[in-house]
Amino acid sequence: MDLDFSKTDGLVTAVIQDHESGRVLMVGFMNQEAFRKTVESGFATFYSRSRKKLWTKGESSGHRLVVKEIATDCDRDAVLVRVKALGPGVCHNGYQSCFYRHLEDGRWVESEPRSYDPDEVYGGGA
């Protein structure tokens, strides 16, 4: 299970993809402990660079990411985690995916409606 954590301050990039639809849901980072916890628990767990601690996605919202398969890339500094996403959306802003805006004529444009109300899930403090 050796990954190369040396390139980004002890972290690897983690791409989260819906295992059925193939939609990319979010991107995060994992340190060695987060990766081990992801594998052992079966729930995607990240290292938050801003809060400087581990966080299991869904620990406050319940929107957990159930690991279905993990792949790594040629130089082992990134992982692709295929998941079943519990709940109506992965993004804390209320969308199915964090990638809810696309580039159109030089501007970021929302591509889709919200899939849930983040105020109801995160208590208005999201």
User: Among the residues of the chain, which ranges form H helices?
Assistant: 32-41, 118-122
17 touches its own copies (CB under 8 A) = yes
107 forms part of the interface with its own copies (CB under 8 A): yes
| In the complex, minimum distance from the CB of residue 103 to its own copies, in angstroms, rounded to a whole number | 4
Residues 68-97 that bind its own copies (CB under 8 A): 69-74, 76, 78, 80, 91-93, 95
Strand partners, 45: 56
Question: Shortest Cβ distance from residue 109 to its own copies (Å)?
Answer: 10
Pick the binder of its own copies from 49, 59, 84, 120 (CB under 8 A): 49
Distance CA 53, CA 66 (A): 20
The only residue of 5, 13, 32, 115 in contact with its own copies, by rule CB under 8 A: 13
CB-based burial label for 25 (10 Å; 0-12, 13-18, 19+): buried
Residue 85 CB, nearest distance to its own copies (Å)? 15
Q: How far apart are CA 98 and CA 111, in angstroms?
A: 11
Among 53, 102, 119, 120, contact with its own copies (rule: CB under 8 A): 102
The partner residues of 54 in beta bridges, in order of sequence, read 47
